[in-house]
Structure 1
Amino acid sequence: MKNTKLIALLPDLASFILIVDEGSFTAAAKTLNVTPSALSKLVTRLETSLSVKLFERTTRKLIITRSGQQVYDQALVMVNAAQRAVELSTTDHQEMSGALTVAAPEAFLNSVLQPHVVPFLQKYPEIQLKLRVADGEIDLIRDGIDVAFKLTDKPDENLVLKEVSKTNLVLCASPAYIDKNGMPTHPTDLNHHDCLYLAETNTDHIWDFFKDDEYHSIAVSGRYAVNHSQMRLTGVKNALGIGIFHDFVVADALANEEVIPILADWTLKSNYHGAIAMQYPQTKYMPARLRGFIDYMALQLGANE
């Protein structure tokens, strides 16, 4: 497709995104101050230009097709990039104001980040903050995210990294469970215990243990698996089995002796341990609100410069 044709399609693609986001021609037309029939003709024109069908139209519902979803995803990248370009020329690029979208894993957001959100917004009343729970892989550009918190020892090499802390994984169980089932003294003992795990991927039930030169990969099992840390912790507290958690999730429960550590002399590794880091796209012109957020959270979370 020639550049001139692409440029001509950009307004139609932007309108197409709005139609998908609003869920109907009528709602999108109201936002754009045009008629629904005008948007219907626009979509027909776009379908002809792209040689794909974007929507399945029924009398009650507008359903995006698989090809339409692919077009939407790519168009959204362009619109988000255009939004960033606009921001470069506005005064809020130098001021602590405007919209900021931040993604973070659920457990970290709930246990660590949450106490700092309200003070940040109180300090910078002109910033509009959007927080998104993101436990899996995300694309910052495609998803319109300014900065993401990640818990990993394998950060994205294509993004700038600002490490703020470290996190380790802790294996624990309730005293009642241990009294009934015995205390594991070696990772292989877990083969005879009920274990609670995430169940997000096919490998979440495989726990890797390291001590000196010894290594064991254990495929655990149990009656209860849930990818919500607080629900999993509630299950462990109620003697449903042995669970794996980030240290910041179980800190209070360990201090109150609601749970006790298991195999504490072993190091437990997974995809979700290592550095607690903020990652964001490389840019020469960082908006003041983004720099302010990064610096504020780095200070609050104890970053080492």
Structure 2
Amino acid sequence: MLNHKLIALLPDLATYIVVVNEGSFTAAAKTLGVTPSALSKLITRLEAALSVKLFERTTRKLLITQAGTRVYEQSLVMVNAAQQAVELSTSDHTEAAGSLTVAAPEAFLNSVLQPLVVPFLTRYPNIQLKLRAADGAIDLFKHNIDVAFRLTDKPDENLVLREICQTNLVLCASPDYLARSGIPTHPTQLSEHDCLYLAETERDNIWDFLKDDEFHTVAVTGRYAVNHSQMRLTGVKEGLGIGIFHDFVIQDALAKGEVAQVLNDWTIKSNYHGAVAMQYPQTKYMPARLRVFIDFVMAHLSPRLNRPLTSL
């Protein structure tokens, strides 16, 4: 049974989530429509009630403590449960309506999900769809994400997993480039070619290749690097060099003969290969808007993405 002290803490814990998400009292105060000083006093009161220190305060940053992280995680559970209770008390759990936020890597969002937007919104006119490009790991609870797509062989074990298909990385170049510069027959020869890469991290120009028990790491160079798959693909089509793409990005260009696959007997190793995983929080009462989105995606994407690349 809830005691009066715990009931009094619930609004403060919900406010605490906003402070953590925003990263500062000023930003959180703006979101909540209160003053930063009032918010600071609330957090001080919460710390006293819980007998823990939630933040390390400095003049520049608001750093969450280990104890604060644990309180934050448990508070998220509480707020999510409250959201489910609200949905159960409305028609939201039976009618496909409301806001739905979906996160996915940029390449997948642009090449695969984008064509589904208009058909989905046409079929479900009472749903507001928000798409967010997220190439790295993203915390669904912290960022209020309803469902996320990941390209990985290590999905989040704390979330429900619906595997759509497997995805692989493909090395390719335009026919003109290969006619002009030659076709590499071994990964080590890539160091002699112009290559297009992401340029997001220091290791983005380091490509790993595996065939049977043979493994090679190659440092590539090139005059053009961009962390946008379609811009990189355009550069490859225009003959600027050799690039790596997910199979779902490159399928149409391969089918049209705009690019040709290179070193297709080698496996390209990366953090972004493996399963196309659709993940969402476990819930006993799934909102209808999420249920229809999952069903729509599975019906439209599974047959398309499971088409073998070699069949094109």
- Normalised by the length of structure 2, the TM-score is 0.78
Return the offset for 1:299: 0.5
Contact 2:198–2:226 (8 Å) recurs in 1: yes
Q: Aligned with 1:23: secondary structure?
A: helix
Residue number in structure 2 paired with 1:164: 164
Q: In terms of mean alpha carbon deviation, does 40-49 or 78-87 score higher?
A: 40-49
Contact 1:187–1:216 (8 Å) recurs in 2: no
Query: Could you tell me how far apart the structure 1 residues matched to 2:183 and 2:296 are?
Result: 43
Return the offset for 1:186: 1.3
Write out aligned runs for 1:101-116 (5 A): 101-116=101-116
1:76-110 superposed Cα distances (whole Å, 9 cap, x missing partner): 56434432343244331122122222111111111
Residue number in structure 2 paired with 1:222: 221
Q: In terms of mean alpha carbon deviation, does 238-247 or 74-83 score higher?
A: 74-83
Q: In terms of mean alpha carbon deviation, does 231-240 or 93-102 score higher?
A: 231-240
Residue number in structure 2 paired with 1:29: 33
Query: Could you tell me how far apart the structure 1 residues matched to 2:83 and 2:183 are?
Result: 56
- With over 3 angstroms needed to count, the CA separation of the structure-2 counterparts of 1:55 and 1:124, relative to structure 1, is farther
Q: Aligned with 1:301: secondary structure?
A: helix
Q: Aligned with 2:302: secondary structure?
A: coil
Query: Could you tell me how far apart the structure 2 residues matched to 1:292 and 1:258 are?
Result: 36
Query: Could you tell me how far apart the structure 2 residues matched to 1:265 and 1:41 are?
Result: 63
Residue number in structure 2 paired with 1:65: 62
Contact 1:55–1:64 (8 Å) recurs in 2: yes
Write out aligned runs for 1:199-278 (5 A): 199-201=199-201, 203-211=203-211, 213-223=212-222, 224-278=224-278
- Normalised by the length of structure 1, the TM-score is 0.79
1:210-233 superposed Cα distances (whole Å, 9 cap, x missing partner): 44x343222232134332212222
Contact 2:187–2:218 (8 Å) recurs in 1: no
Query: Could you tell me how far apart the structure 2 residues matched to 1:283 and 1:160 are?
Result: 9
Query: Could you tell me how far apart the structure 2 residues matched to 1:263 and 1:130 are?
Result: 38
Residue number in structure 2 paired with 1:153: 153
Q: Which runs of 5+ in 2 are unaligned?
A: 307-312
- With over 3 angstroms needed to count, the CA separation of the structure-2 counterparts of 1:26 and 1:243, relative to structure 1, is closer
Query: Could you tell me how far apart the structure 1 residues matched to 2:257 and 2:231 are?
Result: 18
Q: Percent identical across equivalent pairs?
A: 65
AA paired with 2:196? Answer: L
Q: Aligned with 2:207: secondary structure?
A: strand
Write out aligned runs for 1:20-99 (5 A): 21=22, 23=27, 25=29, 28-29=32-33, 38-39=38-39, 41-46=41-46, 50-51=52-53, 65-67=62-64, 74=73, 75-76=75-76, 78-99=78-99
Query: Could you tell me how far apart the structure 2 residues matched to 1:199 and 1:181 are?
Result: 23
- With over 3 angstroms needed to count, the CA separation of the structure-2 counterparts of 1:78 and 1:216, relative to structure 1, is same
Residue number in structure 2 paired with 1:8: 8
AA paired with 2:27? Answer: G
Return the offset for 1:40: 5.7
Q: Aligned with 2:250: secondary structure?
A: helix
Q: Aligned with 1:66: secondary structure?
A: strand
Q: In terms of mean alpha carbon deviation, does 41-50 or 261-270 score higher?
A: 41-50
Residue number in structure 2 paired with 1:286: 286
Return the offset for 1:148: 1.4
Return the offset for 1:5: 5.6
Query: Could you tell me how far apart the structure 2 residues matched to 1:290 and 1:68 are?
Result: 34
1:138 and 2:138 are equivalent in the alignment:
yes
Equivalenced residue count is: 293
Q: In terms of mean alpha carbon deviation, does 91-100 or 292-301 score higher?
A: 91-100
Return the offset for 1:123: 1.1
Residue number in structure 1 paired with 2:194: 194
Query: Could you tell me how far apart the structure 2 residues matched to 1:77 and 1:201 are?
Result: 34
Return the offset for 1:184: 0.2
Query: Could you tell me how far apart the structure 2 residues matched to 1:65 and 1:121 are?
Result: 40
1:251-275 superposed Cα distances (whole Å, 9 cap, x missing partner): 3333343322211233333222233
Residue number in structure 1 paired with 2:174: 174
Q: In terms of mean alpha carbon deviation, does 108-117 or 163-172 score higher?
A: 163-172
AA paired with 1:279? Answer: Q
Query: Could you tell me how far apart the structure 2 residues matched to 1:138 and 1:277 are?
Result: 13
